[in-house]
A and B are shown apart, each in its own frame.
Chain A
Amino acid sequence: MNIDSIKNGIVIDHIAAGRGMKLYRLLNLDALDCTVALIKNVGSRKMEKKDIIKIDADIDVNMDILGYVDQNVTVNIIRDGEIVEKKQIALPERLTNVICCKNPRCITSTEQELPHIFRLTDAQNGVYRCLYCETQAEKTAE
């Protein structure tokens, strides 16, 4: 299967197989007008299988979402068909409106306009807790 290479845009590579669609949704890529390719189960020497997202436009990608969903992805910035920058991904210290608090006793359950904020409380184990009630976020779904 052939997917055209892009001239100016972003390639999110080395996404764990199966997580591409989750990233697609969280990054709101369905709202873009430009060409976006989500390629699933691409053969990879390192990972056996991986997902790739290609975005044919120079947009700001929310790196916090990338870091939360999959720290191992690589983000390549493409200009005139060449990779001009590879961005490193880290676990974000804080996530705003990426995940929702599921605790029915949390203030966010009754005050809908409050942003859902989670902070990284255990970097080693990737544990995030709600800023308001400290309930632990469920692990990222595969």
Chain B
Amino acid sequence: MKSLIDIQDLTPAEIDELIVTANDIIENPKKYSEVCRGKKLATLFFEPSTRTRLSFEAAMYELGGNVMSVSSGASSSAAKGESVADTAKTVSCYADIIAMRHPKEGAPLVAAMNASIPVINAGDGGHNHPTQTLTDLLTISREKGRLDNLTVGFCGDLKFGRTVHSLISALSRYTGIKIVLISPEELTVPSYITTDVLEKNGIDYEQTTDLLSALPELDILYMTRVQKERFFNEEDYLRLKDSYILTPDKLKGAKSDLCIMHPLPRVNEIAIAIDDDPRACYFKQVFNGKIIRMALMMKLLEVHV
């Protein structure tokens, strides 16, 4: 029995296998519509979420399975002080697989160590969110036809963005990857990302504050939101906020086959006008998220077509 807690739990070969399954699900959805009949997914979300929880639940329904859901910590035994370990042991008696989101870092690992069924980390605080990374990898693979030999720009809040850290870490296992880190100086990636991930894996990277000059060389642009509360003073925020908002005007210098991604929710960092641009891939990401979660649950439940 295997769980998915960190994207590094999967080898590149296993990720390729999931992408192959996901593409087949998209091509032949009927083939998969009953494969999880009789299986039950428990979504244990101790922190608010819209997309991720619905994505997991839609994924299980599309595989023909059923879903049991805890949608907030306040409505669960956790509010009475039950430990994550006990919750995991209990839910193991009811369900076949768990998807857990928890505000505390490492909670899904504790669940996996105690559950007798597979556990999927659906986000633990600012730490890991591996199914978002799988979603991003599937999107890149479908849009570009490959996961290697790509120049990938990450723009916005690179300091606190767990999706950014996790995707950089996943891409660092492929060859020919160049990473361009575009952010205000206040929000650059933590040093362990540059030292332990990029430099350790010999990945070519550059850091810049200038989105416009970085855009022309990018194959992928991964946008994130620059949040006001991350700045020490309002003056800096006001000075910088517009630099990291993507507008049709800024896109003029970009490649015609650029793939624009965003983990969502978007606030204002990508102008609405870009939604109709064929390079906008962020809503395709949402669709891909459901598909890759279908492939992942099939793998962890050892269900075969």
B residues within 8 A CB of A105?
103-105, 125-127
Q: Would you call the interface of chain B mostly helix, strand, loop, or mixed?
A: mixed
Q: Are A108 and B83 in contact (CB under 8 A)?
A: no
Residue-wise, chain A 82-120 has the 8 Å CB interface mask toward B (1 for contact) of 000000000000000000000101111111011000000
List of B residues within 8 angstroms of A131 by Cβ: 106, 109
Q: Do A134 and B127 have beta carbons less than 8 Å apart?
A: yes
- How many residues of chain B get a CB closer than 8 Å to chain A's CBs? 17
Some 9 contacts from A to B, beta carbons below 8 A apart, are A105-B127, A107-B105, A107-B106, A107-B124, A111-B84, A132-B110, A133-B105, A133-B125, A134-B105
Residue of B nearest to A109 (CB): B104
Residues in chain B within 8 A of chain A (CB atoms):
83-85, 102-107, 109-110, 124-127, 192, 196
Is A103 a contact of B105 with CB atoms below 8 Å?
yes
A11 CB–B CB distance under 8 Å: no
Q: Are A133 and B110 in contact (CB under 8 A)?
A: no
The answer for the CA separation of A108 and B91 in the assembled complex, in Å, is 21
User: How far does the alpha carbon of A122 sit from the alpha carbon of B85 in the complex, in Å?
Assistant: 29
Q: Are B126 and A107 in contact (CB under 8 A)?
A: no
The smallest C-beta distance from B163 to any residue of chain A, in angstroms, reads: 16
Q: What residues on B are CB-neighbors of A111 within 8 Å?
A: 83-85, 110
**Which B residues are CB-close (under 8 A) to A113?**
83
Do A106 and B104 touch across chains, with their CB atoms under 8 A apart?
yes
In the complex, the chain B residue whose C-beta lies closest to that of A136 is B192
